[in-house]
Structure 1
Amino acid sequence: MTGEVGLPSPPFPHDRAERYVREQLWKREPLGDVIRLALARRPGHLALVTTEVRWTHRELDERSTAFAAGLLAMTTLRPGDRMMFQLGNVAETVVAYYGVVKAGIIPVCTLPQHGAHEIGRLAEHTAARGHIVQADFRNRDLVELGTRLGEAVPILDTLIVARGAAPPGALSFDDILDAGSQPDARARLRSLEIDPDGIVAFQLSGGTTGLPKVAPRRHAEYAYNSQVWAEALELDENAVVLHPLPIMHNAGIAAALQPAHLVGGTFVLPSGADAGPMLELIARERVTTMPVVPPAVAIRILRHPAARTTDLTSLTRFVLGGQRPSADLLERLESELGIPTQQMFGMAEGMFLFTPPSSPEWVRRGTVGTPISPADEVRVLNVGFETEVPDGELGELACRGPYTIPGYHRAAAHNAAAFTTDGFYRTGDLVTRHVVDGRDFYSIDGRIKDVINRGAEKIHAEEVEELIARHPVVHGAALVAMPDPVLGERICAYVVPGVGAETLTLDAVNAFLLEQGLAKFKLPERLEIVDAFPLTNVGKVSKKALRADIEGKIEKENAPL
């Protein structure tokens, strides 16, 4: 198997890895084999529903196996190589993801919304050789982007185009499927040896600086993550799971797609998060479970005119995550729509918390719950130290366990600060532990990290600030979150202008950012021009003062006349 490039992704400590195997938490087989065996158990049962396809477990297994075999037959990609993903919520994404996993190729779980800036730097950081794009993704020419990046990033030498024509030098998704149906291609696939302790996927984290840190997920722990989450939600072969957000997010894969198929159930993939089509799918497919629904999506459902006339009685698990929902939202979903709600907290780095339905109401309303695995370990630390605070006091959430990464990929300096000396991941989230009947529950009370959570999409402030600061008439920039009743937070840019900045507008700043290759969902939604930034007592920009300033302005603007 190809070795890891540059500084390695830290492995799990030997003693912990042995314990997880001994306790039968980790299986000694690659994730691709786990998926293949799960799909083989109920071959005729419905596996995948989109607006375009209805495939059985057998059909999904066959297509993803063909894609795996075709990749090895038509490209020079081999197990351990990396592939950037820029596909939306379409059936080809599921086929490609399962296919690369079966082939031992590592998906880098980027999004179609990412721009050249993000894709190029992440490709270099992960040493990605492959890039798969969706030709008909809305309002974006991803084929042109892929072609341009292939010329700019020498190592990115394999471009695959789904749902459209492939330009010269690129490969067609359909041609790869055809090649993978040949007997010699299947034989080559069957002869593969894939290390179950190796990396199976690179997920992007909600890091604090620059581009997102890359979280290396490994075969055994990623399978366990989905398995124990399925057990927490009591999923079985009758489960019909719908996920409304981008499928290549960790939440889409580890909390929705894989759990549905590992239990023999059905996965429903809407093309987007519009409330109307989602309500139709819930009723038509008798959806039982919607994991990781951001409050913004829940609000859209609640407000949609058809919500009160749509049959939602099949829903038994409606799990809100991504950002903290209000108690009023939870109450209205239950009282007005009859939807039973739960909360959860998850991260690309691993740890999942959830509120069991049997929990007291105040726990379901006011906390994000308890760890899903008995092997999960949680500490609440004094900020900046490794000592724990007493129960009931605020501290930083730190965790480790059988599916929480022991370190980021090629980030030794960051790992030294992000993990304790005994391997607990410092999440940057401020929490309080509540002990109820001998069980620990955690409420999220803020965060240390400088990340804006816009409708469950994490925007790293420093990345955007650095790009704005490149503008020729900008002296400095600071990004902060401003409150929003639907998305939770939106992006406000404070800018200190330089000479010639008389015409500096939000549109001008955003046009410049797009030229720099930034993704549209990271663009500021409000611009505030200031002569200087407020500073802390140690001379740093006071984000706290800026957040208070924009909150005050919004409150004043919304005040009744």
Structure 2
Amino acid sequence: MPKSTVFARSTGSAGEEGLVPYPADISDAYRAAGFWSGRTLPTELRAAAPQHAERTALITPEQTLGYRELFAAAEKFAAGLAASSGLRPGDAVMFQMGNVAETVIAYLGCLMAGIRPVCTLPQHGVREISVLARHVGARGLIAQADFRHGKLPEHARELRSGGVIGEIVIARGPSSAPDLSYADILGAGEGADPADLPYHTLDPRQIAVFQLSGGTTGLPKVAPRLHEEYAYNASAWAQALGWAPGTTVLYALPIMHNAGISVALQPALLSGATLVLAPSADTGTLLDLIETTRPDAIPLVPPALAVRLLDEPRSRHADLSSVTDFIIGGQKLPPEIAERLRDELGIRIRQKFGMAEGMFLVTPPHGSERMRHHTVGTPISPADEIRILEPGGDTEAADGEIGELCVRGPYTIRGYYRAEQHNAHAFTDDGFYRTGDLARRHAIDGMTCYSIDGRIKDVINRGVEKIHAEEVEELILRHPHVAGAALVAMPDRVLGERGCAYLVPEHDAPQLTVAALGDFLRAQGLAVYKLPERVEYLPSLPLSPVGKVAKKTLRDDIADSLAGESGASV
């Protein structure tokens, strides 16, 4: 299919400017196969409520809501928005909310009102929110007044005074005109007929939710998630994990993120499960909730959080026996950590890969340790398609050879929102998304599965030689004196880039010199050109809001250090 046909800005059959629609023949095929239902996302979610009316839907440290209560509150919020605000179906609304019940109610309420949530994080600053709001044309913002230092309402008003947004909804704190109060919106929706809510008449081919991909500086990369495909994403995940009424799911990362929505909130509600929402990923909070709510599944645990659990003395005495699905994701897990979780805490791990653009993979529940410890498994849908291509090219890599993960399927986007120029390079001519992830295909236990071996941009270009950061990091973590490691590129006038290792020491362990680290890595069989040429120590590695190592922070840090040293020597 010609690229101009796939990626030209088009209103498409759904009438959405800036949206790259699924080609009609592919959409028809997904519906004929039963992957897409022809119903909207809120319709699918709302249909679960009568089936599980008396079951518990949501638990937070502050309250417990049954399915009947949760969806009744969401319907009031939806009706109240229509009655008391200027927001209308098709409008986009920014979310700056933490892991509280009000977030879940407001999210579901917006869907039922035909309003599109923009899943930002409360940690995003005014500039980031402004760039994103302008990009998607957002007209409102919902802010949690008591999040951390209570600055979010002030930031929202700054955005309004700058003409970025119009409507502000304040939750969990005082509001004054022209702000709208979350409580007042619920009150305005009291007594409304749910049959009159806009979601009953929405086009399921249109955008339901905006999700963020990657950073928020410069041109935003926004993934428009459509009603049918986003609902299928959640149901396919729930089916792959075997969730059902009686399943309890504990989620500790930010819920207003693609991971939180598509691996926790929506699949839990679609399957009649109970979602336990942790206010933070603090290990003490996590252990408390495991012991009090007895979850079956923890569907997304960053490796950094797994390490913190291992380092927490209380973990040795906590009753973790209820957790039968402990799923690591977000970053490659060193096999040594998987073995420690097994041996020290009795936790049998699975691994996952997923992204805001769609495609999910997970290791099967009864897969061998070779598969569970060294790969991210297989796609969750039989219609998912994967190619491993030579980076930047169209030639397929052989089994076991590293290449770029390229994906297509019934819940993988066809293009970023309002990003024609970027889409022309981010997708193949026939609609496979170039993820930028380096991967390998493996045949294990009679199954085809995949490992994720870093990012293309996480490759250090040392002259004509290329160093894959994760390969070196995995070997560094074998050193008994190292608790954490990140290899990043530092600028070099001659070679372009060299490798700098940021290390976190084990408790009271001596620090390694460049030479000592090099000796150890050579003994592990690492080529000399891949050895780190500088070592920096930190008490902990900086993390993004969703638990990944913030390598851009480290690259900026070493670049600033080198610039300072160069200036000092002049």
Q: Specify which of 23, 41, 44 is matched with residue 34 of structure 1.
A: 44
User: The residue matched to 1:449 in structure 2 has which SS?
Assistant: helix
Tell me if structure 1 keeps the 8 A contact 2:92–2:116. yes
Correspondences of 1:225-236 after superposition (within 5 Å): 225-236=233-244
CA distance in 2, matches of 1:484, 1:119: 33
CA distance in 1, matches of 2:422, 2:240: 32
The answer to whether structure 1 residue 365 and structure 2 residue 373 are counterparts is yes
User: The residue matched to 2:314 in structure 1 has which SS?
Assistant: coil
Q: Give how far 1:102 is off.
A: 1.2
Correspondences of 1:107-186 after superposition (within 5 Å): 107-154=117-164, 156-183=165-192, 186=194
Q: Which amino acid aligns with 1:378?
A: I
Tell me if structure 2 keeps the 8 A contact 1:208–1:449. no
Paired position in structure 2 for 1:213: 221
Q: Give how far 1:360 is off.
A: 2.2
Q: Specify which of 266, 272, 280 is matched with residue 288 of structure 2.
A: 280
Q: Specify which of 345, 349, 354 is matched with residue 341 of structure 1.
A: 349
CA distance in 2, matches of 1:523, 1:396: 24
CA distance in 1, matches of 2:43, 2:16: 28
Q: Specify which of 395, 398, 413 is matched with residue 390 of structure 1.
A: 398
| Structure 2 runs not aligned, ≥5 long | 1-10, 460-468, 471-487, 492-496, 506-549
Paired position in structure 2 for 1:303: 311
Q: Specify which of 17, 37, 62 is matched with residue 27 of structure 2.
A: 17
Q: Give how far 1:103 is off.
A: 1.1
Q: Specify which of 239, 254, 268 is matched with residue 246 of structure 1.
A: 254
User: The residue matched to 2:457 in structure 1 has which SS?
Assistant: coil
User: The residue matched to 2:387 in structure 1 has which SS?
Assistant: strand
Tell me if structure 2 keeps the 8 A contact 1:315–1:340. no
CA distance in 2, matches of 1:131, 1:100: 11
CA distance in 2, matches of 1:425, 1:208: 20
CA distance in 1, matches of 2:371, 2:21: 35
The answer to whether structure 1 residue 47 and structure 2 residue 57 are counterparts is yes
Give the 3 Å change call, closer, same or farther, for CA 531–177 of structure 1 in structure 2: closer
Tell me if structure 2 keeps the 8 A contact 1:131–1:146. yes
User: The residue matched to 1:183 in structure 2 has which SS?
Assistant: coil
Can you list the C-alpha shifts for 1:329-370, whole angstroms capped at 9, x where unaligned? 111111211122100000000000111122222111111111
Can you list the C-alpha shifts for 1:95-143, whole angstroms capped at 9, x where unaligned? 0111111111101100100001110010000000010000000024100
Q: Specify which of 278, 281, 290 is matched with residue 298 of structure 2.
A: 290
Q: Give how far 1:181 is off.
A: 1.1
User: The residue matched to 1:307 in structure 2 has which SS?
Assistant: helix
Paired position in structure 2 for 1:330: 338
CA distance in 2, matches of 1:249, 1:312: 26
Q: Which amino acid aligns with 1:84?
A: M
Give the 3 Å change call, closer, same or farther, for CA 485–106 of structure 1 in structure 2: farther
The answer to whether structure 1 residue 81 and structure 2 residue 91 are counterparts is yes
User: The residue matched to 2:233 in structure 1 has which SS?
Assistant: helix
Give the 3 Å change call, closer, same or farther, for CA 450–212 of structure 1 in structure 2: farther
Tell me if structure 1 keeps the 8 A contact 2:112–2:198. no
Q: Which amino acid aligns with 1:418?
A: A
TM-score (norm 1): 0.80
User: The residue matched to 1:530 in structure 2 has which SS?
Assistant: helix
Can you list the C-alpha shifts for 1:460-512, whole angstroms capped at 9, x where unaligned? x9xxx9xxxxxxxxxxxx999854559xxxxxxxxxxxxxxxxxxxxxxxxxx
Tell me if structure 2 keeps the 8 A contact 1:208–1:450. no
Tell me if structure 2 keeps the 8 A contact 1:124–1:153. no
Give the 3 Å change call, closer, same or farther, for CA 251–485 of structure 1 in structure 2: farther
CA distance in 2, matches of 1:175, 1:192: 24
CA distance in 2, matches of 1:479, 1:78: 52
CA distance in 2, matches of 1:345, 1:412: 26
Give the 3 Å change call, closer, same or farther, for CA 209–113 of structure 1 in structure 2: closer
CA distance in 2, matches of 1:60, 1:373: 29
Q: Which amino acid aligns with 1:347?
A: M
The answer to whether structure 1 residue 421 and structure 2 residue 435 are counterparts is no
Can you list the C-alpha shifts for 1:357-407, whole angstroms capped at 9, x where unaligned? 222221111111111111000000011111211111111000000000000
Tell me if structure 1 keeps the 8 A contact 2:57–2:70. yes
Tell me if structure 2 keeps the 8 A contact 1:396–1:428. yes
TM-score (norm 2): 0.79
Tell me if structure 2 keeps the 8 A contact 1:6–1:410. no
Q: Give how far 1:231 is off.
A: 1.1
Q: Give how far 1:529 is off.
A: 3.0
Query: Could you tell which deviates more after superposition, 174-183 or 81-90?
Result: 174-183
